[in-house]
Amino acid sequence: MGIREDFVASVERTEAIRNRFPERLLAPLWGVEARPSLLADGEVMLDEAVIARTPMKSWIFLLCAAVALLMMCFGSWFGFRRIKTKRYVENIPTSPSAGLTYGPAEIKGIVECDQGRVLKGPLSGEKCVFYRHKITERRGSGKKAKTVVILDKKHFVPFQCRDSDGVISIEPEGAEFTADLKVQKRRGRQTHYEWHIAPSTAVYALGSAVVDKEKGDRLVISDGDNDGFPFLVSDETETEVMLRLGRKGLLGISFAQNGTVFLGLVLFAALGSFAATDFLLSALISPLFLGFSMFVLMFNDLVFLRNRVKRAWANIEVSLKKRADLIPRLENIVKGYLSHEKVSLEALTGLRTAVVGKNSYSPTDVDLAMQQETALTNRLFALREDSPDLKGDSAMDEFMDRLTRMENEVALMRKGYNDGIERYHATKQRIPEVFLAKLFKFQDAEFLGFSKEIRKVPSFTFDDNVSQEDSSAEDPVIQGEPVMDSVSSSPSVYVFKDEKVMGPYTVDQLKVFVENGDFLQNDQACFDGKNWVTVAEVPGFAE
């Protein structure tokens, strides 16, 4: 009877396992045949034949669940934050200094700073605009030895980033700096480290372009008044920054992914179920988590690009409203000097209709307003050049300078706005983003069609003592805005590229621009104010 009971229990337990999913599908493939029940009528199956559940203890479940949730939350926060920043680096184009627009921006160039605001590295003694000084100490001995950090401080000063078009100021408060380790010294049980970014170093910066609070007439790169957009300054290249962010992001996502699988196993263990399907379902949580992560990142990309377009358009509307304030002064000038010109009067009337009394504008309104303004301002500039009285009028000079700045402002805004639309549309038309865009009804935006060139400032020569009228065809004339003096030494080199002269640069800066591809070695350059040679022939360049 004992043998029979064991045999019956074995058959009943085997059938119970065979009838579960997915065993009932796999059993025929593996040749496990079904057996009829050996229980007699009215006979109850023995307890040994029942598959009993063995749930884990409650306190163990709560502890494991807390660990799993902590892994998920920390990994998701760290990973998504880094991946999102990496996507910003990919989606935001590099802005030249001449094309910088308000809002999220990415710039590249070489570091310059004022001599009076430069720092000195605590270990290297070199000039720098940022340094990090860290001191660690080895304490204890044997297995109880440990390394502790006794000092870790960062210092920085505002500095400038020069590219091939000019200079952009960077206000580094709130920035996340990354730099190569420059000095490591061992002093007894202490180890000293120094990271720094020195003048003439090539840097990459991602941040917000905002109006300078002190001068109010230019854009600077800063943290954007804590607008949530990342602020990075690094001596790495853009590719190196993306790879570093990508590695950290994937590490965080992988940590969170393991947390989701662990949580699934813990939940099944709490139920006391250890079937094969439980492990399968726990494993399926991982691709579901990755799919959700991909959905979140793509959706965030579309939202960011859409908001970037909206922000750029809002800036253009603000610029148009500022133009409305100039209409009364424009009317006085036109009535005083152009009252006999019907075309100018019509342009003024059209400009008033386009910008005055409106709270919002359409791309068609903007195109019409800028066409009317261009026709009118071109005539004003021509009249000013032909009339000595107007040239000497200080009020006219101030007005024309303000008008020029506003025209340049809208020209740069138009470029940033259209570039934002182009990237938004390109992302929205990709697969699988196109399905998300249709599902959540991301609307297209309309390009601005008007063409507006940035007006040139007056010419100047290499010799400040020579007047504009005395400049002859024998001496090259440099077109462009005056630039700040570099911290580096002479000589000053000017480069002719894209039908304009850029500079001045030092030889060290010129080498960095050539390495970055901004200039070529066969581009024309002038280092003595008289003769033009190729960049490769500039003294000191080949050293």
pLDDT at residue 15, rounded to an integer: 82
In 3D space, the residue among 82, 153, 166 whose CA is nearest the CA of residue 505 turns out to be 166
What are the φ and ψ backbone dihedral angles of 356, each rounded to 5 degrees? -90, 135
Q: Could you report the per-residue pLDDT of 291-312, keeping only the tens digit for each? A: 888 888 888 888 887 877 887 7
Contact 384, 400 (CB under 8 A): yes
The whole-number average pLDDT for the span 95-120 is 84
What is the C-alpha separation between 300 and 126, in angstroms, rounded? 42
Q: Could you report the per-residue pLDDT of 127-177, keeping only the tens digit for each? A: 999 999 999 999 888 788 889 999 999 999 999 999 887 889 999 999 999
- In angstroms, what CA-CA distances link 188 with 31, 98, 191? 72, 51, 8
pLDDT at residue 160, rounded to an integer: 92
What is the C-alpha separation between 461 and 475, in angstroms, rounded? 8
Highest-pLDDT range among 173-177, 370-374, 379-383: 173-177
Contact 290, 260 (CB under 8 A): no
The whole-number average pLDDT for the span 442-454 is 67
Contact 181, 197 (CB under 8 A): no
Angle at 91 between CA 287 and CA 101, to 5 degrees: 155
In 3D space, the residue among 220, 224, 234, 230 whose CA is nearest the CA of residue 86 turns out to be 230
Contact 109, 161 (CB under 8 A): yes
pTM attached to this predicted model: 0.60
All residues at 6 or more sequence positions from 119 whose CB lies less than 8 Å from its CB, including other chains: 127, 128, 129, 130, 131, 155, 156, 157, 196
What is the C-alpha separation between 541 and 543, in angstroms, rounded? 6
**More confident of the two residues 303 and 224:** 303
Is the pLDDT confidence value at 27 over 70?
A: yes
The whole-number average pLDDT for the span 517-526 is 81
pLDDT at residue 315, rounded to an integer: 74
CB-side neighbour CA atoms (13 Å) of 133: 13
Is the pLDDT confidence value at 122 over 70?
A: yes
All residues at 6 or more sequence positions from 513 whose CB lies less than 8 Å from its CB, including other chains: 110, 163, 164, 505, 519
Tokens of 78: 């760290």
Residue % of the chain over a pLDDT of 70: 77
Transcribe 85-151 into DSSP letters.
Answer: HHHHHHHSPBPPGGG--SEEEEEEEEEE--GGG-EE-TTT--EESEEEEEEEEEES-GGG-EEEEEE
